[in-house]
A and B are shown apart, each in its own frame.
Chain A
Amino acid sequence: MKLKTILMGAAAAFALAPAAHAERGSDGELKILYYQAVSTLNAYLSSGTKDVEVGSLVLEPLAGFDQNGQLFPRLAAEIPTLENGGVAADLTSITWKLKDGLLWSDGTPVTSADVKFTWEYCTHPEGGCAQSAKYEGIKSIDTPDDQTVVVNFEGPKPYPYQPFTGGTAPILQKAQFEACLGAAAASCTEPNSKPIGTGPFMVTDFKVNDVVTLAANPNYRDPEKPAFATVTVKGGGDALAAASAVMETGEFDYAWNTQINPEQQAQMAAGGKGQFVNAFGTLVERIEINMTDPSADLPEGERSTVKHPHPIFSDARVRQALSMAIDRNVLVEVGYGGAGRPTCNLVPAPAEYASDNTGCLTQDIEGAKKLLADAGWTDTDGDGIVDKDGKKLSIVYQTTVNPVRQDFQALVKGWWNEIGIEVELKSIDPGVFFGGDAGSPDTFQKFYADVEMYANNFDGTDPEPYMSQYLCNKIPGPDNQWQGENVNRFCDPAYDAMVKELSGTAEPAKRAELVKKLNDMLTKDSNVVIPLVDRGRFSAQSNTIDRFIMNSWDTELWNAQDWVRVK
């Protein structure tokens, strides 16, 4: 009798408890839609955003980034800094301490050996690790005890938080992946699709490029989380269908990357079953200007190389005119709506790195015409196209096949026509454009066009590697099989010197100042890069899900352990 009363009381207490103290697994099934289906859960083998994100439900790094881009500890007990002694005073090492009592989902303890193994796994010369850039510059890793990891760098690292942070650098279980080092990495099907992790969920079934089924991890460090018992991550379809499945039909709770045109955003939002969530990071849609001559008359191997400066764009006034003629507000309104905002910066975020550069936001057709005239380009034969020394100002404008980009092309072509520039449009299959195949003429590195448009960003919150893409020695050309990130073929010794200064500076305020200067050199000073739109992450979330926080610095599923169902 007594026992029964106690039990009843306990049951009543549970029933009365607010949702915040939800029991693990009490909220049933969570249905997530990634329209680009998941191929593998091992971020080190794919690095496609979708794979990294879904993998992050299972595998975790030592520290992650929150919605403000601040590091917070995941497996680590705290973030090592200069102040707490975690980062060595000479900046050559960083010491991480693991949380106490961490367990893998199979019940075995997480140790520093797993962390060290992860480094060995990704840096193995035959492994083809997609994230090896995260582990660059590491000399050795020491594991003085089971809880401590000391990362020793080859030299001073002003930003020591690259390795083991963010969804792209999770910790693998040594016991599971030990046989998968090097060349064996790709054929380890079972571990790659069902990794054992520390995250809130663990994989129960994996259908390649289709569905991943997960269940709550019984050994997750917070006994009350996650609230959902199972997760289904479905793949396939397109952004439109994905948005509709959350916003209109309510078939799913969350859909990733629902980039659809603004009108449809409005229509779907009226469906009432969900809402769009966005967050702005560092992804910028931009027009890059070729500083070298892409003319087809040049012999192969000299086309678009530094041997031949661009006959038109070598004049900075022409480049500036191109930028001035564009109305970025219209571009956002036509293409992105809530998922974008106009920008003049290459580095639009984090806030401390963003330059206060807004001069380009107002369109100035007349000013652009005047600049062209000053540069000697006038319409002498009255055909609407400006010319100089008998040559017409005619350019090729390329981008990838993508409905928004084709609209942008058409609009920009209209504005450039207005200032007297003839534009030929070209759209290339993204698989080719971004494929980096040295044999193809249509890659963005080869740049056999005068201007090209695409989007790029940087990983994490540190822009240094991003800024060093525009160094003189990163220019792609036939001698390096067209592998190089400086697609504009921009080369300025002052810029190179400043990047070098950046790599030797640790003080955050000073770093931010340098990055802003570098950003301005590329954008408003020289107009070699014409930033158009700062593109945010844009996903759809059902109204029945609570505690979702959008994050543009780490994976969107970064706090899936906290999500609950609204009752």
Chain B
Amino acid sequence: MTDAPRLEKPRSQWRDVWVQFRQHRGAMAALFLFLLLAAFVVVGPMIWRIDPNFIDPDPVKMIRLRNRPPSWDHPLGTDQLGRDILARMMFGGRISLAVGTVAMLVAIFIGTTIGVLAGYFRRADGLLMRLTDMFLALPLLPLLLVMMMLFAEATAAVVGPRLGTFLLIVLAIGVTSWMHAARIVRGEVLALKEREFVLAARSIGTPARRIILRHILPNVLSPVLVAATLGIAAAIITESVLSFLGLGFPPDFPTWGRLLYDGIDVIRTYPERVIWPGLAISLTVLSVNYIGDGLRDALDPRIRGR
């Protein structure tokens, strides 16, 4: 009656996504949990300032400190060498999260590049997809093993043993886990290429590079995000498998995977040493997966608003 039709404030796409994301209760809970875990490993060591590798050099004290149950001094107890488990969990989490994230970025970068190239350029398709198939058919465990063995010394010499191992693990995992992302992206690109807006862009002579960057990439973002979440999960687990084989970080450099592996030896006596890192890995991967799920729903305009 009185109101002139008021223009709604223009909303950005990401704001829409956030609004939609907030509806996904599971994803919100997961986001909260993930932030909590991240705070635990990033901020935690600044508050809980015990060296995770500290072993009391006095043998008598060391023996007395071994395998202690939880106490105020050591909230999660100590391990078989009297090291503080809480500190080790925090420190290990940093490495595991960093490995997972960076390895995922590497894998997604390779996967997206190959997927877009294969999907967009017909000529490259056959070759690139054969390459992908071949990688998928390769036994990845021996491949990872060989890469770690062949290059460990070389990278350690350039950037030092710890950073060297980190880079190597991240690259090795990335190079062996991009294939699913590439396939998904290729499929999406194949479909997008025939869509009207791409055809329109092409008909006005937009160069391929621009079409890919402006029109294709933003539209494959949601499947890539989903692939990325799965990628983090896979990378964290792969890292723990590598630690299993003694090909991960040096033994005095704990990660969740390594802590879990060390714990399995004493699972009968101290089950919590398997439970803690196992829970940490599971919760991290679970929350990341949930976040990915929420993002997918939020990003998919077809589902949005239901």
Q: Hey, which bits of chain A sit against chain B, CB under 8 A? A: 240, 244, 260-261, 263-264, 267, 296, 327, 329-330, 333-334, 363, 365, 400-401, 403, 406-407, 409-411, 413-415, 417-418, 424-429, 432, 440-442
Contact = CB atoms under 8 A, between A and B. Distances in A.
Given A267-B269, A403-B262, A428 B81 contact: no
Contacts of B59: 327, 329-330, 363
21 contacts: A261-B80, A263-B266, A264-B266, A330-B62, A333-B63, A334-B81, A363-B59, A401-B246, A403-B265, A406-B251, A406-B262, A410-B53, A410-B55, A417-B57, A424-B250, A426-B161, A426-B250, A428-B246, A429-B245, A440-B149, A441-B153
Contact of A407 (B57, B80, B246, B250): B80
Contacts of B149: 429, 432, 440, 442
Nearest to B244: A401
A121 B57 CA distance: 55
A427 B55 contact: no
B33 to A, nearest CB: 31
Interface string B63-102: 1001100000000000011000000000000000000000
B252 interface: yes
A178 B53 CA distance: 59
B268 interface: yes
B269 A264 contact: yes
A413 B55 CA distance: 9
A240 B265 contact: yes
Nearest to B55: A414
Contacts of A260: 265
B250 A261 contact: no
B80 A334 contact: yes
Contacts of A429: 149, 245-247
A330 B56 CA distance: 12
Q: Which 9 A-B pairs have the closest CB atoms?
A: A401-B246, A418-B57, A414-B55, A406-B251, A330-B59, A327-B59, A414-B57, A427-B251, A425-B252
Contacts of B245: 401, 429
Nearest to A414: B55
A242 to B, nearest CB: 13
B4 interface: no
Contacts, number: 76
B157 interface: yes
Contacts of B153: 441
Given A334-B66, A432-B149, 11 more contacts: A263-B67, A267-B269, A330-B59, A330-B63, A406-B251, A406-B262, A407-B80, A410-B251, A413-B252, A418-B57, A429-B149
A425 B250 CA distance: 7
Contact of B250 (A267, A334, A403, A427): A427
Interface of B: 53, 55-57, 59, 62-63, 66-67, 80-81, 149, 153, 157, 161, 245-247, 250-252, 262, 265-266, 268-269
Nearest to A426: B250
Contacts of B266: 261, 263-264
Given A407-B81, A432-B149, A427 B246 contact: yes
B57 to A, nearest CB: 4
Nearest to A408: B81
A334 B265 CA distance: 14
Nearest to B148: A429
A432 B153 CA distance: 14
A245 B252 CA distance: 32
Contacts of B265: 240, 260-261, 264, 403
A263 to B, nearest CB: 5
A262 to B, nearest CB: 9
Nearest to B162: A424
A432 B148 CA distance: 13
B81 A296 contact: no
Nearest to B149: A432
A432 B59 CA distance: 33
Contacts of A400: 246
A8 B80 CA distance: 63
Given A363-B59, A401-B246, A410 B262 contact: no
Nearest to A326: B59
Contacts of B67: 263
B252 A296 contact: no
B268 A264 contact: yes
A538 B289 CA distance: 46
Q: By CB atoms of chain A within 10 A, which of B247, B251, B262 has the most?
A: B251
Nearest to A264: B269
A424 B251 CA distance: 10
A330 to B, nearest CB: 5
Contacts of A329: 59
A257 to B, nearest CB: 15
A442 B151 CA distance: 12
A329 B66 CA distance: 15
Nearest to A415: B57
Given A261-B80, A264-B269, A411 B251 contact: no
Contact of A424 (B157, B161, B246): B161
Contacts of B157: 296
Contacts of B55: 410-411, 413-414
B252 A410 contact: yes
Nearest to A263: B269
B133 to A, nearest CB: 30
B37 to A, nearest CB: 27
B250 A244 contact: no
Nearest to A240: B265
Nearest to A409: B251
Nearest to B253: A425
B204 to A, nearest CB: 59
A202 to B, nearest CB: 38
A240 B56 CA distance: 28
Contacts of A410: 53, 55, 81, 251-252
A425 B246 contact: no
B265 to A, nearest CB: 5
B254 to A, nearest CB: 11
A78 B304 CA distance: 91
Contacts of A333: 63
